[in-house]
Every structure is written in structure tokens, then in C-alpha cells.
Structure 1
Amino acid sequence: MGLPAVLVRKLGQMGITDPTPIQSHAIPHALNGHDVMGLAQTGTGKTAAFGLPLIAEMMEADDRPLPKAATSLILAPTRELANQIRDTLLPLVKDTPMKINVVVGGASIGPQIKRLEKGTHILVATPGRLLDLIDRRALRLDATRFLVLDEADQMLDMGFIHALRKIAALLAKERQTMLFSATMPKQMEEIAGSYLVNPKRVQVSPPGKAADKVSQAVHFIAKAEKPNLLIELLGAHKGELALVFGRTKHGSDKLARKLESAGFKVAAIHGNKSQGQRERALKAFRDGEVKVLVATDVAARGLDIPDVKHVYNFDLPNVPENYIHRIGRTARAGKDGAAIAFCAPDEMGELKDIQKVMGLSIPIASGRAWEELPDPKAKSNGGGGRGRGRPGGPGGGASAGKGPRRRRGGGGGAGRGKAA
């Protein structure tokens, strides 16, 4: 593919001999100096797709970075993804003079400033902390020759649009830029226009497509019954790693405590946890000391833990694309995985949006589809809006669930079949 022999040898030592589709499409364009816009689902090897040509270009130039400058900058939306990018690239620069630094929020800024004083070859950063360092005159971007925006759509979801505009204005005009994303929301065109010049577009799977080896299913269940169902399903595979997604920080902590009291080894990560707490929880999960990790969408991207066998959407996400990113945490590196969604009456709107984005109907594991009702408040204001739900009935477009129906704890919802 035109990569330096030393890099090819390092890949061989890591057991990597064949490129993934996104790598085989993107790397040649990048090595030829083109800007690249890459669209690919999570878990397809995007980090190496931009990391390999970036390292190759800097090996060839063999320049020392200027003080307080970064020769190349990789922007990532979350601390976890930033750390993972560093961990993926470090083996590729081993035994070379190249320095890789990471700057993220939630960690002390003093040591980060110190590490940047002599300059760095590859800087991996979250947008907020990057701007903090620039404001403190600890970092300059006018000498940055290579730029990567990884998971750019999530940066938009997390409200980084204004930060990205500020960063764009500080960068050198003469540079090579690569943008990678799993989905292509409308605002992405503005970002692409600000950062990229005549980019080569590389797309290896349609936006909204989940990994092929993920089996999906949905349980229609009353909100109050969700914890009991989760405990039952987790109990069927206690020895396997499971990632459980909640919507709120408080709700995730509460659910983690409930699972712990039910006998599961569990940890929780979300935005209120310190960087140290998040790293310890992820390490325990990756090492198998903790079998269940409860997380908000802060963990929906960038977590490369190949042994995650099950993903549970305990709460359906408000942003439909986040469902795809969540379930992309399983079936990684060619392995199989299962994604189970719980849908309460007030989540039918979210489920419909998810299915629309994915272009498919998620198979029903138990219960019956809730019938969406107009929201009385929205109606009085002259709008339609999403409403509450009730169990579907004849004429209501309901689908029959598998197995016998049953009720639990007086929850007024659809019953569940036997856990698959």
C-alpha cells in the first residue's frame, strides 16, 4: 500500500497482515496527500486508517516539532476515545523519536502543559481541553501540518460545534486533513467545508448500518419491570462481558447499585466520574474483573473491548444514531454479539426513529409493540408530538411477541416471553 517497510514490520509483529476495507480505501488517498472524508461504522479499524499514513508522512519528513506546537493533531469527542487512539498508535512509534501526547479534560492541566513545552509529534485531544491550553498560551496550532477529526458526528452531538469553529480558525491553511465519522448529519457539511479541501470521500458501509454480526432484539416492557428483566437476562450469561446503556448519570448509578445487590460484579461510567474512576472501571471491565459495565453515551464510541458479548439498551437513546454506536461496542474484530433493547411505552417514538435510520424492524423478543398516542399537551398547543404509549391491540399495528405472555409486579404493560 506504499507504507514504509518499518511500519509494515511493526504491523506484522502485532499480528496485523491484511487491511480492513476502510484502511485499504483511505490509506492510499492519505499517502498521496489528499484530504479524506471517511464514513464507516464503529469497529472497522478507522484509527489505523488515519494513524498509519499520518505516522508514515512524519517518518519521511523526520522533523522535530517546534516548542509548544504539535506537528499533527487528532481531535476526539471523549477522553476514552482519546486514550484509546494513543494506545493504538503507541506500538507503531515504538523505537522511534516520535512523541505522542494526550490532553483531555478531567485530568490535571499542569502536567499536560509541562509535556507540551518541547513540542509533540502527535497530539490527541478533546476540543474543550485543547482550547484551555491554547488560552493559557501552552499550545499553538499554526505549525500543525496534519489534522484528524475522529467520530466527528459525535462531536456535533456533544455540542462541540462552536469549539470546532474556533479551532479551525487557528490552524495553518497549508495542512492535510482527515475526517472520520460513522454517520453524516446535515451539520457535517459545514464542518467538512471548514476543514477539508477537495476531499476524497471513502464510504465502506451505508450510514445507519450496524455491524453485520450483531443480532438485535427488542423487549416491549413497562418501565418499572426493566430492572427485573435485565437481571434475568444477565443471569443467563454471567461469565460474559455485558455493556448496559442508560440515559442519565443518576439512573446509571442507581441501576449499577441494583445489579450489584443482585450479585453481579458491576461498575458505572459517566460524565460525573473523574478520569481516574473511569479508567479504573474500564480496566476492570476489560480485564474481566467486572462483568457488567453500566454507562451513559459517553461510552458509546471508541471503546474497543473485543470481548463484549452483549449490549443492553436499558434506556433507548434520544439520538437514533447513538443506538448504532452503542451496539457497535459488540461484534468487534469479526466476532459475534447480541444487542438487546428495552422499550417502555414512552419510548416508542425513539424506537421508530432508530428503525427508520437503520432501515429495518428490530425483531421482537417479547411483549407487544406499544401503540403511540398523541400527547394531550402537544395537541392543545397545536402540535402532534410524541406521546405516551399503550399496549397495541387489533388495528393498532401491534406485533405479536414470542412465547406466552405474562405480567410481573402489576406493571401495566405487555408481558414477556421466555428469555431467549
Structure 2
Amino acid sequence: MSLFPTFFPVLNQKAAKNRDLFSKNTSKTEVTEDGNRLKLAKGHIIEAKGLDALQFFSTHHDYRRGRLLIPGPEFNNVMYSNLAIECRDPRGRFLTPEQIDSFESLDVAPQIKSNIYRMGISLPLPVQCFLIPFLLYNKNTDILAVAPTGCGKTLAVVVPLVEHCIQMKKEENPRIRPLNAPFAVVIGATRDLVHQLQIDALRIAFETGIDVKCAYGEYDRTTNGKDIRDGCDILIATVGRFVDLVDKGDVLVEETRFIAVDEADKLVADEIFQDLMIVLNNRVRPDVTYALFSATFSSAVRSVLPRLMHSNFVQMVMHTNGISPLVKQIFLESTDYRRKEDILKILMKEAKIIPEEKLDYDVSNFVHPVQYDVEKTIIYAESRRVIDYLAIYFSIAGIRCISMHGGRSQRQRNEAYEKFKKSEFKVLVASNVAARGLNFPDVKQIINYDPPQDMETYIHRIGRAGRLGSVARAVTFLNPEDIQHMQLAAEIIEELRKLNQEIPDFLKKMANMVEFGCNDPYVMDFLQSVDENIFSSVHV
């Protein structure tokens, strides 16, 4: 018997194929139609434009394109040979945590394992081998985990949380715990990260009876509160909306046993973090378990640990280079005037003309009717106006391009995220809202139109490419006369040395100017040229 209503019209063969694939890979469950909204399992609402838009896939498995996204050729070497996981207690003593080598060995509900395999994931990644059993079997121990982007932290967090919720629901008295008192809370640094975390959590919690809800800005406040009061076991939220919901009584945290914070370094830098600390220090149980995760941890993060975590917390560090060695870093010396033309040349280098009969849109009225298929690329810029301008510029040049920044509504940002992820658009021009935590499969190229303001953001941006061991490159435009660019260059050089990658001469000059290495020949030559220019301009 089909899972889908027989009266739903078959719009085209592609839609019918997508529905068949979804049905084939989904066990019997309640799937009902409510206009353009689909209800998947208990309490899980997924927005969709039609049944063809509802897919059960992860970054590993994509039914729409009908293929398995397998790790790149150097995956095993990068993920298993070039890293080490180190665990220490607060006193610095080494620990040897339990680890797994397959999901079958996990003591979790069979449905969780089934959902993992349905996502196309057969073996755990290294960070999952350590983190999943640690979070499962050490309920009363806090953890601070440092691991690079793209290594599988999200799955490592969600699986234990769903299992803990299943066990606690079995043991609890349903009359005591209010419906809006979640067992677990996951805090994300941005709305887009929360959106992605919720999707991954829904996949793992599928048919387990665990209600996963999200909360973020631009989600209608009244609707958001009602949705949570209808039942919430795991809440995934941004800081601002979470604090507001707790203050207004829409979320009760007295029963919360686990609090996870993703991209903690970004969170600590926000002013609203102090409001979150007030909630955590005064509202939650004293025995709540904390788990903090990020690719980088600054001194600011470490300074809040004594106020947030218990004295027995464990530090787990995955030792790799901050940037994947499979991402080739390229640096171009450039002024503000020619960057967009230079980027267009980079995009067109490997471009192929798309035959008109293969286009699913009319190009007869386009300024540039010839359309090009280019490598999947993310271009980062700082200004919203510049981001939109670049997206229009490349679109006019015949490259399908979409933009994403904080000035867009959450619905628009989600749409940009999904369309780029599915390769409907091959180029995404974005601000730093797309720099942290978001999973974009198959990204071959990162271009920094505007360099980031700090090294942490640089690492996060570059981390959008080279995921699962795939080869990629990152191009960064630097102005040799910009002080901020000089400071970034000095930090980048340290990473390049670790990776044994070539360091351009102009990058060395920029770094040396910051370090004031006056014994360095580059600096001496520069200073001498400055003196000559000064004296040549003086008229006696």
C-alpha cells in the first residue's frame, strides 16, 4: 500500500520518481497531506512545496540525484592516518575513553540504527567513534570537544541525545513532566545552523517517539511557543529566542538533563551570551550535563568554562591541522577594483556551456542567454549590498548564482541553503552566516572576496570545502596595504607551514610588516623604497 494519497496529482515524471524513492527508503509511517505542509511522525512539521520536496537524505545520501555521496579518495588517509584524538581531565591527565568501530556495537534503540543506515551512513567517523559512547555512557560528565569542521560532530551529539530521551520517557511519569519541558536543549550560534541541526535531529529521531522542536528569530513567536507547548523532548534553538521563551514560561528548563552548545566560540563572542549564562546558572538543574563543541576554541571560551561546566569535565581534542590538507590555499594580491572580474575568470576556467535543451528555465529574455555549468563554489563577502551585487553580476554573466546573508528572511535563507545544497545553483555568495556549521556537499572552491577579520572565521570558511576527504581549493584576495589583512597574513602563514604549502612572497612581506622584523630583507627593501620616495618628493 502506498504511503502517499492516491489523489495527489503526478506533476511530472521527476516528481513521481522522487516519491517512489522516498517510499522505497521509508518504512510504513504516518505521512499525511495538509496543503503544502507535511506531517512526518509525531509532532514533526516539515515545510515542503509538494511531496517531491520531502526527502529523507543527509550529506551522505541524496535520493534526488540517485547516488551515494561517498568519501573522497584521500578520505581514509586524512581522517584516520593524519589525526589523533586526545582526552584529558581538568588536571591535564590523559584518559582512555571507550570507543566503537561500528554502529552495530552501540547500545541504542534499533530504530536509531535503522535511521542512521537509512541516511546512507555505514561506518562511524573517528570523532563519532569516541564521542557517541562517551556521551552515552558518561551522563554526569561534562565535555569540551574541539574538532575540525566536517568531521561528523552533529551526528555524534544527536544520537546520544535521542537515546537518552527514549530511556527517560520510558522511566518518567507522564503526568509530572510538562509537555514544554524538554529533556535536552541544543544551542546553535545562528538560525541557519539551528535549521540544519533540526533536520539532522529529525532524521535520527524518526519513528522513535521523540519530539524535536526548534526555536529561532523570524519563526512567529506565538506559533513557536504553541508548537513547543504541544510537546518537546529535544529543543534546538538560537540564544536569543531560547532566553525569550524561558523568560516568558513557554519553555521550562527545570527538567532539562543535557545542554549542548554547537559553535561555542561564536556564541561566547555575542553580547547575549551573558543572558544565557543567567538562565543556565539560575534556572536549570545543578546536575545538568554540558557538552560544548566547535572547530576552534579561543581564550574567551576557556575563560567561561569554570562558570559553566562542572569541575570533572573532560577535554577531547581531535589533533589535525586547522585546515584540511586537501584544501589548496591560493592567495592573490588585489585592490578593490578588479576582484569581481578576477573571480569571474576563476569561475569560467573550468566552465562548460549548458545545452539549451537541458535547461529547465527560459533564457530567451536573458541578458546573457548562454548558461554555464561551473564548479560548486562559495564566495564570501562582508557587505550585504556587495553580496547581492556579486550574485547579480555573476548571474548576468551566465552563471546561476544565489545569495545568503543576515538581511534576508529565514525562509529566504533556508531556500538558498537548500537550493545550493542540491546544486540547483552552483555558486553561493554569502556572509559569515554560511561560514559556521553548515553542511554543503561537493563544494570544490571557496573564494574570499573579502578576507575574514580573524583566523577562526577563516578556518570555518575554508572548512565548508574539502569535506569527507574531497580535494578542494580556497582563493583569498588580500590587499598588501591593509593593516587588518597584514595581521591575518601572519596567522595564515603559520597554518601554511604546518601543511607544507607554498607561501607567496607578497604574503611574507605582509606578515613581516606586522611583526616589524626590521632585520628581514623584505622589510628593509620596503623601508628603503619608502625613504627614497619621501626624499624624491621633497623640493629644496
* TM-score, structure 2 as length reference: 0.66
- Tell me whether 1:4 sits opposite 2:4 in the alignment: no
**Which residue number in structure 2 is paired with residue 352 of structure 1?**
490
**Which residue number in structure 2 is paired with residue 232 of structure 1?**
345
* Pairing 1:124-143 to 2, within 5 Å after superposition: 124-143=236-255
Residues 11 and 216 (structure 1 numbering): CA distance in 2 closer, same or farther, change over 3 Å? same
| Structure 2 Cα separation of the partners of residues 373 and 214 of structure 1 | 22
After TM superposition, give the deviation of residue 17 of structure 1 in Å: 2.4
Q: C-alpha offsets along residues 43-74 of structure 1, whole Å, 9 cap, x if unaligned?
A: 10001111111111122222455232211100
After TM superposition, give the deviation of residue 39 of structure 1 in Å: 0.6
| Structure 1 Cα separation of the partners of residues 113 and 380 of structure 2 | 38
Residues 280 and 193 (structure 1 numbering): CA distance in 2 closer, same or farther, change over 3 Å? same
| Structure 2 Cα separation of the partners of residues 84 and 136 of structure 1 | 26
Residues 244 and 373 (structure 1 numbering): CA distance in 2 closer, same or farther, change over 3 Å? closer
Confirm or deny: 8 A CA contact 2:193 2:437 kept in the other structure. yes
| Structure 1 Cα separation of the partners of residues 279 and 428 of structure 2 | 34
* Pairing 1:184-195 to 2, within 5 Å after superposition: 184-195=297-308
Q: C-alpha offsets along residues 323-378 of structure 1, whole Å, 9 cap, x if unaligned?
A: 0000100111222211111111212222223334675586357x844845999xxx
**Which residue number in structure 1 is paired with residue 433 of structure 2?**
298
Q: 1:177 aligns with which of 290, 293, 296?
A: 290
Moved more, 266-275 or 7-16: 7-16
Secondary structure of the residue aligned to 1:271 is coil
Confirm or deny: 8 A CA contact 1:210 1:358 kept in the other structure. no
- Amino acid aligned to 2:317: Q
**Which residue number in structure 2 is paired with residue 408 of structure 1?**
none
Confirm or deny: 8 A CA contact 2:195 2:214 kept in the other structure. yes
**Which residue number in structure 2 is paired with residue 61 of structure 1?**
168
Residues 385 and 248 (structure 1 numbering): CA distance in 2 closer, same or farther, change over 3 Å? farther
Q: 1:282 aligns with which of 417, 436, 455?
A: 417
Confirm or deny: 8 A CA contact 2:189 2:267 kept in the other structure. yes
Q: 1:89 aligns with which of 174, 196, 201?
A: 201
After TM superposition, give the deviation of residue 160 of structure 1 in Å: 4.0
* Pairing 1:65-84 to 2, within 5 Å after superposition: 66-84=178-196
After TM superposition, give the deviation of residue 122 of structure 1 in Å: 0.5
| Structure 1 Cα separation of the partners of residues 123 and 253 of structure 2 | 35
Residues 100 and 13 (structure 1 numbering): CA distance in 2 closer, same or farther, change over 3 Å? same
- Amino acid aligned to 1:67: L
Secondary structure of the residue aligned to 2:163 is helix
Q: 1:123 aligns with which of 227, 230, 235?
A: 235
Moved more, 33-42 or 154-163: 154-163
Q: 1:39 aligns with which of 130, 146, 151?
A: 146
Kindly, what percent of the aligned residue pairs are identical?
28
**Which residue number in structure 2 is paired with residue 401 of structure 1?**
none
| Structure 1 Cα separation of the partners of residues 208 and 184 of structure 2 | 16
Secondary structure of the residue aligned to 1:233 is helix
* Pairing 1:292-371 to 2, within 5 Å after superposition: 292-345=427-480, 346=482, 347-356=485-494, 360=498, 363=502, 368-369=506-507, 371=509
For these two proteins, the number of residue pairs brought into alignment is: 382
After TM superposition, give the deviation of residue 138 of structure 1 in Å: 1.3
Confirm or deny: 8 A CA contact 1:67 1:119 kept in the other structure. yes
Secondary structure of the residue aligned to 1:125 is strand
Q: C-alpha offsets along residues 17-62 of structure 1, whole Å, 9 cap, x if unaligned?
A: 2211111122222122222211100110001111111111122222
- Tell me whether 1:52 sits opposite 2:159 in the alignment: yes
After TM superposition, give the deviation of residue 220 of structure 1 in Å: 1.2
- Amino acid aligned to 2:394: L
| Structure 2 Cα separation of the partners of residues 359 and 196 of structure 1 | 35
**Which residue number in structure 1 is paired with residue 130 of structure 2?**
25
Q: C-alpha offsets along residues 294-349 of structure 1, whole Å, 9 cap, x if unaligned?
A: 11111101211111111111111112110000010011122221111111121222
**Which residue number in structure 2 is paired with residue 214 of structure 1?**
327
Q: 1:164 aligns with which of 276, 281, 305?
A: 276
- Tell me whether 1:199 sits opposite 2:199 in the alignment: no
* Pairing 1:401-412 to 2, within 5 Å after superposition: none
Unaligned runs of 5+ in 2: 1-99, 101-105, 352-373, 517-521, 528-540
- Amino acid aligned to 1:35: D
Q: C-alpha offsets along residues 273-292 of structure 1, whole Å, 9 cap, x if unaligned?
A: 11011111112211222111
- Amino acid aligned to 2:189: P
Secondary structure of the residue aligned to 1:204 is strand
Residues 25 and 373 (structure 1 numbering): CA distance in 2 closer, same or farther, change over 3 Å? closer
| Structure 2 Cα separation of the partners of residues 373 and 58 of structure 1 | 51
Secondary structure of the residue aligned to 2:184 is strand
**Which residue number in structure 1 is paired with residue 64 of structure 2?**
none
Residues 362 and 269 (structure 1 numbering): CA distance in 2 closer, same or farther, change over 3 Å? farther
- Amino acid aligned to 1:128: G
After TM superposition, give the deviation of residue 246 of structure 1 in Å: 0.7
| Structure 1 Cα separation of the partners of residues 445 and 234 of structure 2 | 34
- Amino acid aligned to 1:172: R
| Structure 1 Cα separation of the partners of residues 494 and 276 of structure 2 | 29
Residues 322 and 159 (structure 1 numbering): CA distance in 2 closer, same or farther, change over 3 Å? farther
| Structure 2 Cα separation of the partners of residues 37 and 12 of structure 1 | 28
After TM superposition, give the deviation of residue 393 of structure 1 in Å: 8.5
- Amino acid aligned to 2:401: V
Secondary structure of the residue aligned to 2:286 is coil
Confirm or deny: 8 A CA contact 2:512 2:523 kept in the other structure. no
| Structure 1 Cα separation of the partners of residues 386 and 116 of structure 2 | 42
After TM superposition, give the deviation of residue 179 of structure 1 in Å: 0.9
Moved more, 342-351 or 71-80: 342-351
Confirm or deny: 8 A CA contact 1:26 1:36 kept in the other structure. no
Residues 225 and 71 (structure 1 numbering): CA distance in 2 closer, same or farther, change over 3 Å? same
| Structure 1 Cα separation of the partners of residues 400 and 266 of structure 2 | 30
